Amino acid sequence: MGNGVGDYTTVEQLPTDSAEAQQILDEFVANIRKHDPKEYMGMAILHRVDRLGEWAVVQGSVSG
């Protein structure tokens, strides 16, 4: 996975109702809005957040 930098051997699943998962989700949506301000994207249902070292994988249903 990736370019070999970092430790991706441990996958940590975060509880979807945790403050940390919500922060990751908020940053994810904010980055999309910064990249394309005309595109609206909100997450209706957060299904899963996995942390892989410094990376996070967000899975959810998109509304809007």
Tens of pLDDT, residue by residue over 11-51, are: 889 998 999 998 988 888 888 888 888 877 676 688 888 98
Torsions phi, psi of 22, nearest 5? Answer: -65, -40
Residue 7's CB is within 10 A of a number of other CB atoms, namely 8
Q: What is the pLDDT, as a whole number, of residue 30?
A: 86
The yes-or-no verdict on residue 4 having pLDDT over 80 is no
Label residues 8-27 b or e (16+ Cβ within 10 Å = b): eeeeeebebeeeebeebbee
Which of 15, 19, 23 is CA-nearest to residue 49? 15
Does residue 1 surpass a pLDDT of 50? no
* pTM (two decimals): 0.66
Between residues 12 and 8, which one has the greater pLDDT?
12
Structure letter (DSSP) for residue 1: -
